[in-house]
Chain A
Amino acid sequence: MSAAPSMFRPRLGRRRTIGRVFAALCLLLTVAAMFILAALIVTVFRAGLPSLSRKFLANMPSVLTPEEAGMNSAIWGTLWLIGCTALFSVPVGVGAAVYLEEYAPNNRITRFIKLNIANLAGVPSIVYGILGLAVFVRWLRLDRSVISGALTLSLLIVPVIIIAAREALAAVPGSIRQAAYALGATRWQTVRHHVLPAALPGMMTGVILALSRSIGETAPLIMIGALTYVAFTPGGSFTEDYPQTLGGAYEWFSTALTDQFTAMPIQIYDWASRPQPEFHQLAAAGIAVLLCVLIIMNATAVAVRAFRQRKSS
């Protein structure tokens, strides 16, 4: 306990200089990450610009004539895929979240389900592709169809939706539930008429972000065998031009669901993995279209969140 006072040299000036250098370094690295994002976007758009035209959106992919190739079938494939994925995954994800937040007793089973969901969210997407290949494509014999792809992507994003929806439900104040119960509402009436409407904007943000994640997923779709040359849109093999009756519409819909498909990320991978530079330009143009779709979806999610914050404040 006899530290000689003369041994202590504050050297404050030097320490402050080192501190400033460190702060500058941290700022540099923070900005570097954003700079790389900007470089990525600029590179892709510049490389793809010559191919971006109305023709690119309207034409079918072509192996022989890259200058005539387009991603029409890929865009429609993605739309069908995401529509069906939303149809399957949103009810299940929201239902599971409502169960876990509003109904579940705090027991072993509930804790197991919660732990299980947290772990599922960390499973690599390609493992879901293996599951989809074995269960939907081979076992249920759904083949390389839109419905196989949508079911696989649904399994992939259900954990993400559950986590987002649970957060939204947990943010609803308990007093709203208490008030509903005090007026004699049943548990479902409380959830249906009071909790769900209050949690809706938060849930929508989470759902849109989850769906936008599934739009870019490539690996699970390749696993179920979606990387094939497809020059028609889902439902395109249906014989009539437009279904005239309800039965016709049903038939058209089920044809579309069991049709082979391609999707935007699949088409991009196909082009990017070919050696010729003409196809690389097409890949860049495809990425530009994909990024535009993602930006629109993310902006919508952010707008919904901002709207909710303004309303609640």
Chain B
Amino acid sequence: MGGLLRKTKEAAIHFGLFACALVSVLTTAGIIWVLASESIAFFQEVSLVDFLFGTRWAPLLAPRSFGVLPLIGGTCLVAVGALLVAVPIGLATAIFLSEYAPPWFRQVAKPVLEVLAGVPTIVYGFFALMFITPRVLQPLLPQTEVFNAASAAIVIGIMIVPTISSLCDDAFRAVPRALREGAYALSATKLEVSTRVVLPAALSGVVASALLALARAIGETMAVTLAAGMTPKLTINPLQSIQTMTAYIVQVSLGDTPAGSIEYQTIFAVGMTLFLITLAINLIAQRVLRRFREAYE
């Protein structure tokens, strides 16, 4: 019955589904094309060396200067601060959930932790601005500015805890039981088994989770825009107002910058930098993760 018709229909559906899969490739191509074409126009005006190694970022006010280092420095300050919050909490949570906690506690804790990742970042930004800075940081450290890197780093750290805890938990549970039993047989305590047997065996998973969390912290936008300020500055003092790459992109897009102007092109150059940094970190994390998966099969 209609063999040809049926074959045509099957082929059409096959092609349609392939086209859907191709959308993702086109998205990547679009991102690279858009960022590259405007960045090339930008780098005809500003030399790559000035951009990458300049220490003053003032693209909107004369005398202009296009050194991206203050933005990268601000981003790193927030991202490293976020990791300092997230790695201890995430790792401790993962160790507790996989090695110590009774099953009922896991069942409650895991979804609650997932909620942390599901809260919109704008909410974290508001929380940092309205609670962390005035109620926690300023009473403890009076020199804290209204906008500061520390408050953004703390809330982003909380936000990426689930990224670390759930990946580390998976990595710990992938460690074969025999390794633990062996250590217990040698009269190791639970602490020693957790930190000297399970943790080293799952180290690549822990490293990969920290890298993925780092990439998320670097790309995070709204919390830093609201809480970390708008003053590009090369500093390692987290109590000062700084500006990250993402916050700069938002700042420009809020104003009325005409397409084709150099201010407009800066968001593509900064966006390209951001894209390449996060892509590199994600690729390294995936490589590390693949290695760890092969370990015990």
A216/B123 contact (C-beta < 8 A), A27-B96, A33-B113 known: yes
Q: Which residue of A lies closest to B190 (CB)?
A: A19
8 A Cβ contacts from A71-125 to B: 91-96, 98-100, 103-104, 112-113, 116-120, 122-125
Stretch at the interface among B40-48, B173-181, B200-208, B248-256: B248-256
- Complex alpha-carbon distance, A32 and B116, angstroms: 12
Instruction: Pick the residue among A112, A129, A186, A298 that contacts B115 (CB under 8 A).
Output: A298
Interface digits, B248-283 against A, CB 8 Å rule (1 contact, 0 not)? 011001100001000000011001001100110011
- Complex alpha-carbon distance, A23 and B275, angstroms: 40
Interface digits, B1-28 against A, CB 8 Å rule (1 contact, 0 not)? 0000010011001101111111111011
| Interface check B83, CB cutoff 8 A | no
- Complex alpha-carbon distance, A116 and B286, angstroms: 12
Is A265's CB under 8 angstroms from B278's CB?
A: no
How many whole Å from A107's CB to the nearest CB in chain B?
Answer: 13
A124/B218 contact (C-beta < 8 A), A26-B92, A33-B116 known: yes
- Complex alpha-carbon distance, A53 and B274, angstroms: 41
| Interface check A304, CB cutoff 8 A | no
| Interface check A204, CB cutoff 8 A | no
A104/B93 contact (C-beta < 8 A), A12-B187, A116-B28 known: no
- Complex alpha-carbon distance, A123 and B18, angstroms: 23
| Interface check B137, CB cutoff 8 A | no
Interface digits, A116-146 against B, CB 8 Å rule (1 contact, 0 not)? 1111101111111111011100100000000
* Chain A residues, Cβ within 8 Å of B218: 124
* Chain B residues, Cβ within 8 Å of A223: 249-250, 253
Is A119's CB under 8 angstroms from B283's CB?
A: yes
Is B31's CB under 8 angstroms from A127's CB?
A: yes
Is B122's CB under 8 angstroms from A162's CB?
A: no
* Chain B residues, Cβ within 8 Å of A25: 92
A298/B118 contact (C-beta < 8 A), A26-B100, A219-B246 known: yes
Residues of A near any B CB (own CB < 8 A):
10, 12, 15-16, 18-19, 22-23, 25-27, 29-30, 32-34, 36-37, 39-40, 43-44, 47, 91-96, 98-100, 103-104, 112-113, 116-120, 122-131, 133-135, 138, 155, 158-159, 162, 186-188, 209, 212-213, 215-219, 222-223, 225, 227, 265, 268-269, 272-273, 280, 283-284, 287, 290-291, 294, 298, 302
Query: Can you list 18 contacts pairing A with B, beta carbon distance less than 8 Å?
Result: A12-B189, A29-B88, A30-B93, A37-B112, A43-B131, A95-B16, A99-B17, A103-B17, A113-B24, A122-B278, A126-B250, A130-B31, A130-B35, A135-B30, A186-B10, A219-B221, A272-B125, A273-B226
| Additional A-B contact list (5), CB under 8 Å, known A122-B278, A123-B31, A269-B226 | A37-B116, A93-B20, A127-B271, A188-B10, A291-B123
